[in-house]
Structure formats: C-alpha cells, structure tokens
C-alpha cells in the first residue's frame, strides 16, 4: 500500500509539474529590476529534511510576497557539502523542486550555487532553478546499483522537473538516476559534442558521424560529474574558485563574486532558518552544571511559553555538563520540536563540554562563538556503556539535526575512535568507528570493501568552533546573541523564559570563580575575627552572610546539595565548640576545620572522586579554594592581633594588651625605687649579700660583686624589684 500511495502522489506531482504555465519559463533571465540591486543568499546544508525544506520555502514565500509585482528579485540557493550519515528523502527534494518551478515564485529569479559534493536526491532541486553556478570543487553524484532502487515513477519525476526548466539534458538525468544507464560524450563530424546514452550511441555509430567517444559512466556505477564537465555541457554558466566555506571572509568573497556575475550590488545572506516575518522567540540561558532540579526548571520555563505565540526557542548553552541522563533527555526534546514550536536555535558563547555537548548539538541551527569549545571531558564521567545504551536516541538526534551519529557518539565517548570513510564508488563520506561501519550490513566484508578509511577524527579533547563547523556539528560562527537572533529571523534577542531574575543573576555570578572565592575568603576572615574577639557580633554576621551566599551560588550551579551543607554546618559548629565551650582539647577544632574544608571542596564540584582530566582540574581548583579559606582564617587572626588595636573606632572593640611592667609593679610587696642613688652603712659584711641601713630603713642588699666589710659606706646603684644592688662608696 505504501508503494501504491507513493506512486499516486508522485504521479500527481508530475502532472502538476508538466502542466505549469510555460509563461514562467519564458521569463528572461536578465529581467531584474535594476532599482533593487541586491540579491538574497540562502545557505542550504544537505540532506534536505522536512524542517530544512520548510525553512527554505518559508524564506522564499517571504521574499516573493515582499517583491513588487513589476520586478524580480534574485535569490541564490547555496548548496554546500555537509557531513551527515542521513540522506535526502525523495519526497522532500521533489517538494522543493516543484515549488521552485511554481508560479508562486514568478517574482523571484532562483539561482543555485553548488560548493562541494552533492549526491543523490539532493541533485533534483538543481534541475528546477533558472541558472546553475558551481565552485571549482563542485561534483554532482548519482545513484549506483548498490544503493536504493529507483523505480520508474521516481525517474519520471526527475525527467519532468528537468524538462520543465530545460537546464539538464535528458541523458544526463537518466544517468544520474539509473545506475544501469551508460553515458558517453561524443565528438561528431559536424563539430557537435552531444551527451548520449548507450542506446543512442548505437544509432550514432551506424550513421558514421562519430569521431571520438568519451565514456563518462559505465553500467552499475554512480555518475560523478565535475564542475568543468557541467560547464562544458552548458548546464552550469559559471565556475568560481572557492576556499574554505567556514571562513567568513572567504564566504564574503564568494558572495561578492557571484553578485558581480549576476549584475547585483551585493548578495545579502538570509539563513535557512529565517522563514516568516512572524518569528517570535524566547531565550533560555543554560548556565552552570546540568542537574535534575535545573533540568526540570528549564523544561517548566520553556513549556510555559508554548501557551502563547512563541514558535522559536533560542537556547544559550554555557555548561560543563553534570548529568548524562538529564542532558540526553533535553537533547531529545530540543531535536524534536512539536507545534507550535518550529525550531530550537542554539548558541554556545563559551563552552559546552561533557554531556552538555549533546544538548548544544541537538539544536538546529547551532552557532558557536569564535572562542567556543564543543565537547571534551566535563563534570560527568560518561562511560562507553552509557553511550551505547543511548545509541537509539543519539541516532534520532542525528537524523533530526542532519548531523553524524558517529561524531555525536565520539563527542560523548572519549575512548571511541572515529574515522572519516569515503565511499569508493560515489565519493560520499561518513564518520564512524570500524565496527559501526559494518554492524548493520548483511555482508560486513562487502560493506567494508565499499569504503576507504581516511583520517582519524580526534574528539577526546573537544573541538574548536572552526573544527565543529567543518565536521557539521555546528552550523556557523556568531560573535554574539544579537547576531544569532538575526540569523534566526528574530527582530532582536528575545526576552528570557519565565524565571526569577535574581536566580539568573546569581547563576551568572556563580560562573565567576573569583567572586565565589572572594566571598569564601571574607567569610573565613570574619569568622576568625569573631573567634578572636567574641561578642563583637558584626564579623560573625558578615561571615554568616558570606557562607550563605557561597552555598547559594554553588547550589544554583548544581554543585551543592544537603551533604555539602551538612558538612559545612557541622564544621562551623565544631570550630565554635573548640573556641567557646571546651577550648584547648584540639579535637573539635581540627575536626571542624577538616569538615569545613571538605564542604568547600565538595561544593565546588559535582563529583567525589575525579575520573577524567577535567575533573582533576576542578578538584585541584577546589582544594586551592579550601586552602585559600584556611589562609584567610589565619589572616583574620593576624588582623585582629596587629591591626585592629590601631584602627579608629575598631580599637574600642578590642581589649588592650596587658603591660608586663605594670603587672610586675602591681605584684610587688614593697617598692624600693626611692633608694636609688642614696648612700648608707652596712650592718653586716656583704659576701656578696647582707644588710645595710639606708636612710631610716634597714634593707637586704647585694654588693656589685666585691666583698664589703661591716660599717662601710655604700651607695645604691640598681633596684630590681626587691633586689637592691650597692657598691662601696669611695
């Protein structure tokens, strides 16, 4: 029944294509309103999925409606080679080709530009355009006998589209679609160079007009036509030398060159995701670690927007991951938008590493900032078995976003070795592991022989923005959200999804490790200040605020839960017991300090034991943060001891240090300072101690080291507390 239904649908489409008014094709290709002066560039990255074709047609509809009736606007559909394991469906290619040929676009002059290798059904829309322009490395590749069989209705649809525009010769179309057709380029006696099939070749040979035969395709192989060959056939009007398409400067030069050849002042880029003028979006900023609580909050906020007129989600991902399961759930959700949602546009301003990379790549299109990083080790240690268990969902995401499932799995599994494989007969390439290449084949050896293994793709450390675009894991590079919004067809950066502004602000602050570390240092410093001078109150209150802020930031970042909070509270309580309840034992003090440091370390990470390079780096940073808190505690004690007694106002809050000399004077039983310098008479011999009468008092004295006889005159030379030192007066 499915074959019959498809045959009927195709037959109806063929009738519609043939029955279109010939007035459309009679339009002069130079019939352009000179006052317009500008053309529009729509970038198309095959394969042609339903969503992509919808985007392109929506953009063409908008351009057709906005073009005055007495002029024509030039639109360049830029087809570029794209790395994907997914192939274009015939129905989508035919739908795009028919609409290009329809009277709805009579105000548009639709030109196709091909850069790179375009294969199979993606070739069909090229036969429907008014003019074909190619890069010097452009190649059109048809079907071979080992690929899906092409029935007569599909071949008839190709011929109908090609005949409608007259750009592609009938023999060329037959050879592209039917792998059994042989194609030969002849040189005849009258100077002609027709392109004929094997059946036509026999009659040409019999006529004796054939001088030279150039075989382009033999039976059973796929036809591969280069840019030079297409220009010689006059199928393509221009061949332009190009560089790397991911470089914006090179892309701009290509547009300038095409504009000059099309007699336009410029070609203005219009992304394929810019469809209608009623694009309404909402912004979601995914900052910090991915946790269950945050995932539920993000989903709740986005679901709330679907009850209004929002049809576009703009998702900014700046995350280290944290939960592989939650990230896979979000990725599957983003890759399959349901009405009224039309698309989920992604942007990575900083990094999307670990499991957060699958969230970013599930957005279509995805833009990266020039310094962004995609993939690499993250907060969650993803095991190979987990990736295998999620293979079905990953392949679904790959199909929906036109990305390589092999590359997506390689981003998540750092142990997976992914290679670039090139089909020996068609030149098509795919990314896969050696096992993944043949696991679905009936004959693994035969399937392996069809592919040539190319270079290995190193995904273990992540990808730069340029590398991600080259591999098809991202769709472009953008420097800001404003640029992404413009590419998405939004008038401006949309308002954030329903959420508490204070939460977003704190999450943003929490990404600044220096600020969190500063709050922690101040907290420990104020705590030590309070312990050094109990009863002040203000340092203790500030310490409590700093610790609370630090915990809140880490909680919103998804790195702090009840265990970390319990460790922090117990640690501070133990320290308080050591200082205020049972001082001197040391057990509570040391234990409380260790608990507090453990809490600080655990609050700064989503794991307990590091399992990858990134987690080791995070653990190192967390330990240094804890040591910094300890250093702040010591600094607080030093500040109390050395600085506060000398600061205005604060010095009144600190008890004065006791004076040793004053204490000594207060503890004495008698005072003899008044005897210093007086003379007297010894009452006993001084050997070296004895007694002497000085003034009216008899006191114990000590000689300066010499023996003094009784009755000698002595003078007091030193008074040290109760010790009176004398010498014999001369």
How do residues 589-642 score in pLDDT, each as one tens digit? Answer: 777 777 877 777 777 666 566 666 655 666 676 677 667 666 766 666 666 666
Supply the pLDDT for residue 336: 84
For 696, which DSSP code?
A: T
Class of domain 661-728: mainly beta
pLDDT band, very low/low/confident/very high, at 158 (cuts 50, 70, 90):
confident
Element (H, E) at 700: strand 697-703
Q: Cα–Cα distance between 716 and 678 in angstroms, integer?
A: 6
pLDDT exceeds cutoff 80 at 692: yes
pLDDT band, very low/low/confident/very high, at 316 (cuts 50, 70, 90):
very high
pLDDT exceeds cutoff 80 at 31: no
Ranges of beta strands (E only) in 556-685 are: 679-682
pLDDT exceeds cutoff 60 at 34: no
How many other CB atoms are there within 10 angstroms of residue 222's CB atom? 22
Express each pLDDT in 71-93 by its tens digit.
788 888 888 876 555 677 888 88
Q: 10-19, 214-223, 379-388, 555-564: which has the highest mean pLDDT?
A: 379-388
Pick the CATH number of 2-13+39-181+222-270 from 3.30.230.70, 3.90.650.10, 3.90.226.10, 2.40.50.100: 3.90.226.10
Task: Please compute the mean of the pLDDT values over residues 646-663 and round it to a whole number.
Answer: 58
Express each pLDDT in 498-513 by its tens digit.
656 666 666 566 556 6
pLDDT exceeds cutoff 50 at 643: yes
Supply the pLDDT for residue 639: 65
Count of residues in the chain: 730
pLDDT exceeds cutoff 70 at 282: yes
By the 8 A CB rule, do 113 and 137 touch?
no
Supply the pLDDT for residue 6: 46
Domain boundaries, the chain: 2-13+39-181+222-270, 182-218, 281-416+459-499, 502-653, 661-728
Higher pLDDT, 694 or 249: 694
pLDDT band, very low/low/confident/very high, at 182 (cuts 50, 70, 90):
confident
Cα 658 to its chain centre, rounded Å, is 62
Tokens for 622? 């967390």
Task: Please compute the mean of the pLDDT values over residues 331-360 and round it to a whole number.
Answer: 88
pLDDT band, very low/low/confident/very high, at 272 (cuts 50, 70, 90):
very low
Q: Cα–Cα distance between 589 and 576 in angstroms, integer?
A: 8
- Name residue 134's beta-bridge partners: 114, 239
> Is 281-416+459-499 a domain of CATH 3.90.226.10?
yes
Task: Please compute the mean of the pLDDT values over residues 177-203 and round it to a whole number.
Answer: 73
By the 8 A CB rule, do 635 and 525 touch?
yes
By the 8 A CB rule, do 615 and 377 touch?
yes
Tokens for 135? 């890069």
Cα 106 to its chain centre, rounded Å, is 42
Q: Is the pTM of this model over 0.85?
A: no
Query: What is the residue whose two structure tokens read 């404003």?
Result: 482
Q: Cα–Cα distance between 129 and 98 in angstroms, integer?
A: 10
Query: What is the residue whose two structure tokens read 């009659």?
Result: 203
Lowest pLDDT segment from 46-60, 171-185, 502-516: 502-516
Task: Please compute the mean of the pLDDT values over residues 648-657 and round it to a whole number.
Answer: 57
pLDDT exceeds cutoff 80 at 696: yes
By the 8 A CB rule, do 181 and 198 touch?
yes
Lowest pLDDT segment from 133-137, 193-197, 202-206: 202-206
Task: Please compute the mean of the pLDDT values over residues 390-416 and round it to a whole number.
Answer: 86
Higher pLDDT, 655 or 233: 233
Q: How far is CA 450 from CA 99, 147, 617, in A?
A: 36, 11, 44
Element (H, E) at 22: none
By the 8 A CB rule, do 474 and 86 touch?
no
Average pLDDT value over all residues in the chain? 76
Q: Cα–Cα distance between 69 and 199 in angstroms, integer?
A: 46
Supply the pLDDT for residue 497: 79
Helices (H), 432-537: 434-438, 444-449, 465-470, 481-487, 501-510, 513-532
Supply the pLDDT for residue 536: 55
For residue 702, report the phi and psi dihedrals to the nearest 5 degrees. Answer: -135, 135
For 495, which DSSP code?
A: P
Q: Cα–Cα distance between 58 and 156 in angstroms, integer?
A: 27
Task: Please compute the mean of the pLDDT values over residues 537-549 and round it to a whole number.
Answer: 79
Specify the pairing of strand 108-115 against strand 312-318.
unpaired
Supply the pLDDT for residue 317: 92
Supply the pLDDT for residue 85: 56
pLDDT band, very low/low/confident/very high, at 30 (cuts 50, 70, 90):
very low
Q: How far is CA 520 from CA 513, 517, 619, 627, in A?
A: 11, 5, 17, 11
Q: Give the closest residue to 345 by CA, choosing from 461, 462, 494.
A: 494
Q: Cα–Cα distance between 599 and 333 in angstroms, integer?
A: 35
pLDDT exceeds cutoff 90 at 309: no
The residues, any chain, with a CB within 8 Å of residue 601's CB and separated by 6 or more, are 619, 622, 623, 625, 626
pLDDT band, very low/low/confident/very high, at 9 (cuts 50, 70, 90):
very low
Lowest pLDDT segment from 26-35, 61-70, 245-254, 303-312: 26-35
The reply to whether 281-416+459-499 shares the fold of 2-13+39-181+222-270 is: yes
Lowest pLDDT segment from 240-249, 327-336, 470-479, 559-568: 240-249
Q: Give the closest residue to 556 by CA, choosing from 322, 719, 309, 260.
A: 322
Task: Please compute the mean of the pLDDT values over residues 9-27 and round it to a whole number.
Answer: 39
Q: Cα–Cα distance between 64 and 105 in angstroms, integer?
A: 6
pLDDT exceeds cutoff 50 at 21: no
Q: What angle, rounded to 10 degrees, do the helices at 538-556 and 513-532 form?
A: 150
* Furthest-apart CA atoms within the chain: distance in Å: 163
């Amino acid at each position: 029944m499915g074959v019959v239904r498809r045959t009927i649908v195709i037959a109806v489409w063929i009738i519609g294509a043939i029955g279109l008014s010939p007035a459309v094709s009679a339009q002069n290709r130079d019939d352009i309103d000179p006052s317009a002066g500008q053309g529009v560039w729509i970038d198309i990255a095959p394969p042609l999925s339903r969503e992509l074709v919808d985007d392109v047609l929506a953009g063409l509809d908008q351009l057709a409606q906005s073009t005055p009736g007495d002029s024509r606007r030039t639109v360049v559909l830029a087809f570029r080679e794209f790395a994907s394991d997914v192939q274009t469906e015939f129905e989508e290619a035919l739908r795009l080709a028919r609409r290009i040929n329809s009277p709805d676009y009579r105000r548009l002059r639709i030109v196709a530009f091909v850069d790179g290798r375009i294969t199979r059904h993606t070739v069909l829309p090229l036969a429907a355009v008014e003019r074909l322009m190619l890069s010097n490395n452009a190649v059109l590749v048809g079907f071979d006998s080992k690929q899906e069989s092409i029935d007569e209705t599909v071949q008839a649809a190709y011929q109908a589209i090609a005949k409608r525009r007259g750009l592609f010769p009938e023999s060329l179309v037959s050879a592209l679609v039917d792998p059994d057709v042989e194609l030969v380029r002849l040189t005849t006696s009258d100077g002609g160079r027709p392109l004929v099939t094997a059946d036509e070749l026999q009659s040409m040979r019999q006529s004796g007009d054939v001088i030279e035969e150039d075989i382009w395709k033999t039976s059973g192989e796929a036809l591969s036509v280069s840019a030079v060959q297409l220009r010689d056939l006059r199928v393509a009007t221009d061949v332009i030398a190009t560089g790397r398409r991911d470089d914006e400067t090179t892309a701009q030069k290509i547009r300038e060159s095409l504009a000059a050849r099309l007699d336009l002042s410029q070609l203005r880029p219009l992304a394929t995701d810019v469809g209608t003028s009623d694009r309404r979006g909402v912004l979601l900023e995914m900052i910090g670690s991915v946790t269950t609580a945050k995932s539920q909050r993000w989903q709740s906020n986005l679901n709330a927007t679907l009850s209004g007129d929002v049809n576009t989600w703009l998702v900014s991902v700046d995350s280290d991951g944290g939960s592989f399961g939650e990230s896979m759930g979000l990725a599957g959700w983003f890759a399959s938008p349901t009405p009224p949602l039309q698309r989920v546009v992604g942007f990575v301003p900083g990094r999307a590493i670990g499991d957060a990379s699958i969230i970013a790549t599930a957005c279509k299109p995805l833009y990266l900032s020039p310094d962004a990083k995609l993939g690499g080790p993250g907060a969650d240690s993803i095991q190979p078995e987990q990736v295998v268990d999620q293979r079905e969902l990953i392949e679904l995401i790959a199909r929906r976003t036109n990305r390589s499932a092999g590359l997506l799995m390689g981003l998540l599994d750092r142990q997976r070795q992914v290679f670039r494989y090139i089909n020996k007969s068609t030149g098509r390439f795919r990314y896969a592991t050696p096992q993944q290449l043949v696991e679905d084949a009936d004959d693994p050896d035969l399937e392996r022989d069809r592919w040539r293994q190319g270079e290995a793709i190193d995904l273990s450390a992540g990808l730069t923005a340029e590398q991600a675009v080259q591999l098809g894991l991202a769709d472009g590079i953008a420097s800001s959200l404003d640029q992404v919004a413009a590419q998405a067809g939004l008038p401006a950066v949309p308002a954030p999804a329903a959420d508490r502004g204070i939460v977003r602000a704190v999450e943003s602050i929490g990404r600044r490790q220096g600020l969190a570390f500063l709050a922690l240092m101040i907290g420990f410093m104020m705590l030590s200040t309070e312990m050094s001078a109990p009863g002040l109150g203000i340092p203790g209150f500030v310490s409590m605020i700093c610790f609370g802020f630090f915990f809140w930031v880490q909680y919103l970042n998804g790195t702090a839960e009840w265990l970390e909070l319990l460790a922090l509270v117990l640690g501070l309580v133990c320290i308080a017991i050591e200082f205020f309840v049972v001082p001197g034992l040391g057990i509570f003090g040391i234990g409380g300090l260790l608990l507090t440091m453990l809490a600080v370390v655990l609050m700064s990470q989503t794991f307990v034991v590091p399992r990858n390079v990134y987690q080791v780096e995070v653990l190192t940073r967390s330990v240094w943060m804890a040591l910094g808190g300890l250093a702040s505690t010591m600094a607080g004690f030093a500040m109390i001891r050395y600085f506060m007694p000398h600061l205005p106002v604060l010095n009144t809050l600190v008890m004065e240090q006791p004076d040793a000399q004053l204490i000594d004077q207060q503890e004495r039983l008698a005072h003899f300072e008044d005897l210093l310098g007086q003379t007297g008479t010894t009452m006993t011999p001084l050997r070296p101690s004895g007694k002497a009468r000085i003034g009216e008092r008899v006191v114990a004295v000590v000689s300066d080291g010499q023996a003094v006889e009784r009755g000698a005159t002595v003078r007091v030379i030193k008074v040290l507390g109760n010790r009176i030192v004398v010498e014999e007066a001369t």
